[in-house]
Amino acid sequence: MIARLAHRSIPASRLVAGLDLPMLFAVLALLGIGLVMVASASMDLASRNFGEPFHFFQRQILFAFLGLLAGLVFWSVPLRRWETAGPLLLVLILLLLVVVLIPGVGRTVNGATRWIPLGVFNLQVSEPVKLLVVLYMSGYIVRHYSNLRLHFIGFVRPLIALGLGTVLLLLQPDFGGAVIMLAIGMGMLFLAGAKLWQFAALGATIAVAMSLMALATPYRVARLTAFLDPWQDPFATGFQLTQSLIAIGSGSWLGAGLGGSVQKLFYLPEAHNDFLFAVFAEEFGFAGVVVLVGLFTLLVWRCFVIALRAERGGHAFGSHVAFGIGIWIGLQAAINLGVNMGVLPTKGLTLPFLSYGGSSLIVTLAAMGLLSRVQWEAQVPVPRKRGRTS
């Protein structure tokens, strides 16, 4: 069925021409690095806990396969269908965030209820919500473009809906997911032409509110304290960050080589997940970090190039989708790297394409399929919608 969708009377020449090769190279390179690093960072933990050193690696291979299938499915769906599904997408966002909080449905780990068991893996609901927010916001911007630019209510209305989603995320609690979701929405509104003073005023209000919520929760206060001075309590609240900094510093210029990390063995918690970058930096050094940052920069740049290409071709919805995906991937990668290097407080966010986890990898690869669909449809220019009014 999937193959039939993917090759529905489409000439091979157009399929090849519809690929953005630099974007494809960046995605495949990041995916390959991620698979190798999950294996390297998790072998000792997998041996101790499961008696199989490649336990996490094998599961990540499965997640990558499912993600590529999801990407193919998203590539096969015409953008027009996503554009007309705006209200349903909003309902789905809120439904996912509510269902995970129902006792007996959501799975709780370390005091956080963020996952819905699906057999093969546990779905972390904040991951598909990010992609759904990109699709919902893109449709809203296209439908209410004039309202958004001329009236304050047009700017605030979608953020009210996202505010409700933020409250539901904080109930899990998932502070990092809430920050990313709001940032995606506000970033897309800004690029769509929202007035700067509106953006700045609302952004400042949200920042103050999020700061107050962070300070009102003891464990978040502890995270902030550890972030400001992790060496004050290096064996308790600052343990994870200090071990991450030791790993990164040990990498020097060229690193200890693949598999040579010491911190991943007994010291660095979540070495194959949120802090995979620290292990990568220890094994490949500054040179490897430059390559990794370069790949993420290339990917985000291609997202914006595809967005501008779609805009010039009259594909307004596709343009906003590509902008949204670029904001999401770039911001989440920057936050994860910042957390690993002690520049930002711990958020519990994965590094796209690299960190272990089914939800993140599958949804991210699905987003790449959607991005490829934008690129493919942008080949055929269409007349712009007259006035792009609401």
3-state secondary structure of 207: helix
Residue % of the chain over a pLDDT of 90 = 50
pLDDT (mean) for 64-91: 94
- What are the pLDDT digits (tens) for 290-301? 999 999 999 999
56-70, 162-176, 184-198, 229-243: which range is least confident on average?
Answer: 229-243
Element (H, E) at 122: strand 122-124
pLDDT band at 230 (very low <50, low <70, confident <90, very high): confident
pLDDT band at 160 (very low <50, low <70, confident <90, very high): confident
| pLDDT confidence of residue 390 | 35
| 239 close to 254: Cβ distance less than 8 angstroms | no
| pLDDT confidence of residue 383 | 59
| 22 close to 304: Cβ distance less than 8 angstroms | no
| 357 close to 124: Cβ distance less than 8 angstroms | yes
Most confident of 200-204, 286-290, 378-382: 286-290
Residue with the larger pLDDT of the pair 240 and 202 = 240
Q: Residue 378 corresponds to which tokens in the numbers above?
A: 């942008």
| 204 close to 212: Cβ distance less than 8 angstroms | no
pLDDT (mean) for 180-193: 89
| 202 close to 186: Cβ distance less than 8 angstroms | yes
Residue 389 has pLDDT above 60, yes or no: no
Residue 354 has pLDDT above 90, yes or no: yes
- What are the pLDDT digits (tens) for 6-29? 445 556 555 566 689 999 999 999
pLDDT band at 280 (very low <50, low <70, confident <90, very high): very high
| pLDDT confidence of residue 7 | 46
3-state secondary structure of 195: coil
Taking Cα atoms as reference points, which of 169, 103, 81, 102 lies closest to residue 130?
A: 169
From the CA atom positions of the chain, what is the Rg in Å?
A: 21
- Side chain identity, residue 390: S
| pLDDT confidence of residue 53 | 92
Residue 63 has pLDDT above 60, yes or no: yes
pLDDT (mean) for 215-223: 63
| pLDDT confidence of residue 213 | 65
pLDDT (mean) for 119-140: 92
Sign of the CA dihedral running 42, 354, 119, 65: negative
Q: What is the pTM of this model?
A: 0.90
pLDDT (mean) for 84-109: 90
| pLDDT confidence of residue 106 | 87
